[in-house]
Amino acid sequence: MAEQIKRKTLDQRAQMSDLERLRHSCAHVMATAVMRLWPDTKLDVGPPTEEGFYYDFDATHRFVPEDFEKIEAEMAKVVAEKQLFQKHVMSRDEALKKIRAMNQPLKEIRLADIPQDEEISFYQNGDFVDLCAGPHIDDTAKVRAFKLLSIAGTYFKGDARNPQLQRLYGTAFPSEKELRIHLTALEEAKKRDHRKLGKELKLFSITPLVGGGLPLLLPKGGVIRRELERFIDEKLDARGYDRVFSPHIGDIQLYKTSGHYPYYKDSMYEPVHIDKDEYLLKPMNCPMHIQMYDSEPRSYRDLPLRLAEFGTVYRYEQSGELNGLTRVRGFTQDDGHIFCTPDQLRDEIKDCIRLVTEVLDVFKLPYQTRVSLSDPKNADKYAGGRELWDRAEAALQEVVDELDIPSTLGVGEAAFYGPKLDFMIKDALGRSWQLCTIQVDYSLPERFNLEYVGSDGQKHRPVMIHRAVFGSIERFMAVLIEHFAGAFPVWLAPEQVRLLPISNDQVAYAEELARQLRAAKIRVTVDHKADKISGKVRNAQLQKVPYMLVVGAKEAADQTVSVRARQHGDQGATPFAVFLERLSREIASRALPS
């Protein structure tokens, strides 16, 4: 089984889709244009991405959006010249001489990173030459539909200790029609941007005095998080999970033993000294949960042991990479860790998959899955012996095959301690987000010498499963904000009902209805403003409140409410008791907006 996985994985790694090939070629076309316009520019890398491509430059010229038109015009000339993409394979010494002759110092460093047993190649189109593994399309004439999109700062090789570079983002498609569709989707994405809606809907705030990448969830954002936690708690209670809590810092030795410190050291903050010991801001919850498992002797009768925590962790992110709730420095994971016997492993993986799919189905979020494996060529990236990895990868792949889950393979995408099944979520705009993950781990129980007493009276090693459904709650919230464009389903909406009295004479009636709604655990406010009813309705619509209840003299006399739904407008007068019963059912069902 392990050998089959390896062969399948290596075959897949060698492939690049036609669209990726086109976009990679377009990145070279853009770099050609930049070099023509600013010949002293130094080159780094220009890969395709899911949304398009980018290229990193070290340039004395500071790029601004106003440069895009000039660069695109030069790109059009390169396309019109129908330049062939020609591959040239060289020895390492020949490649080094060529790079130095080209005066491209960043490429010299990239050359040194290429493994000794890998082919070294350059691609040339016209006068432009680039150290590149390829592949590319036949010629530049096939790069017909492209657009430059944005500029960002980045560090060489992603390390803040290295020089800062300028990254130009763009996209390309086989046809102008597909490009127009994509650009329209980008415009829609701007309207749905969770940073914009987060401010307008008063969901979260990020302030310089607190620090970049450390979001503050405001009361309305807190409601969303609390509802998400309640939702997951229901699922976990039904599966026999125990809720636990762990501190925000831990002794550095804990993370050296687990391997997180050597493997993820660059993603952690510098240790702090307390007395004579060194402590780390918690980068992961799993070592803490391992200590909880190890806090008492365990028998096979105690297993599986399922621990769950909404644990806040801290990771170092460059300031240029921070982005609202999606890239932060402090975030909360809905972490779960299962300790089980090898015989229980497959059933536990299956139940984790059911948990993930049950949650995603509630939000009607489509997804794709990827089996993320180790890269045999980079064994030093992973903890544990090959035999443990083969067992873990085989167990995960067998479950995926048994359940007939369509999936791709990702070589080198495994966690350092084990393979994983990653769920890539598609939002309303078709964008992909890696959120949910299920990871099989034979390595950390070995590193911590975990044991249980089996039915034979002998000591055995448990297996761990790491799983997260939301992943980062902050990122999941960002995805939901953009997926629903801020118009959350009523069960998740921070404000579910707003009462709109037409005049001061109906305020007392509105307040009594609000009291009854709160007693039914429904989130409600009363608009007391001295404003026309049309203005009150407009304000509620802008705040994306699911239900607005207009109450005037007639409604007060008849004990009714005039219901206005966020999506469907005026629903007419309804007895309040009928509306309350209907709303309660809708909330309990966690129905999506129709």
- Does residue 315 carry a catalytic annotation? yes
- Does residue 436 carry a catalytic annotation? no
Q: How far is CA 141 from CA 31, 168, 174, 516, in A?
A: 16, 21, 11, 68
Smallest Cα–Cα separation from 97: which of 111, 83, 87? Answer: 111
What is the C-alpha separation between 327 and 64, in angstroms, rounded? 24
- Which residues, other chains included, contact 87 with Cβ-Cβ below 8 Å and sequence gap of 6+? 121, 122, 123, 134, 136
- Does residue 260 carry a catalytic annotation? no
Candidate list 44, 335, 422, 527, residue with the active-site label: 335
Quote the distance between the C-alpha of residue 80 and its chain's center.
Answer: 39
- Rg of the chain on CA atoms, in Å: 28
- Which residues, other chains included, contact 488 with Cβ-Cβ below 8 Å and sequence gap of 6+? 224, 480, 494, 544, 546
Candidate list 23, 194, 225, 286, residue with the active-site label: 286
Smallest Cα–Cα separation from 84: which of 47, 137, 31? Answer: 137
What is the C-alpha separation between 456 and 449, in angstroms, rounded? 19
For residue 280 the two structure tokens come to 């780390």
- Does residue 286 carry a catalytic annotation? yes
- Does residue 568 carry a catalytic annotation? no
What is the C-alpha separation between 424 and 412, in angstroms, rounded? 17
Candidate list 104, 333, 397, 496, residue with the active-site label: 333
Candidate list 42, 98, 194, 315, residue with the active-site label: 315
Smallest Cα–Cα separation from 313: which of 337, 336, 290, 280? Answer: 280
Written as one letter, the residue type at 318 is Q
Candidate list 28, 107, 136, 420, residue with the active-site label: 420
What three-state secondary structure class fits 162?
Answer: coil
Candidate list 23, 110, 466, 544, residue with the active-site label: 466
Residue 37 near residue 55 (C-beta atoms within 8 A): no
Look at phi and psi of residue 567 and say left if phi exceeds 0, alpha if psi is from -120 to 50, else beta: alpha
Backbone angles phi, psi at 318, to 5 degrees: -65, 145
- Does residue 13 carry a catalytic annotation? no
Q: What b/e sequence results for 539-575 when a residue is b if at least 16 CB atoms lie within 10 Å of its CB, and e otherwise?
A: bbeebbbbbbbbbbeebbeeebbbbbebeeeeeeebe
Residue 289 near residue 307 (C-beta atoms within 8 A): yes
What is the C-alpha separation between 405 and 293, in angstroms, rounded? 31
- Does residue 335 carry a catalytic annotation? yes
Active site (catalytic) residues = 286, 315, 333, 335, 337, 420, 466
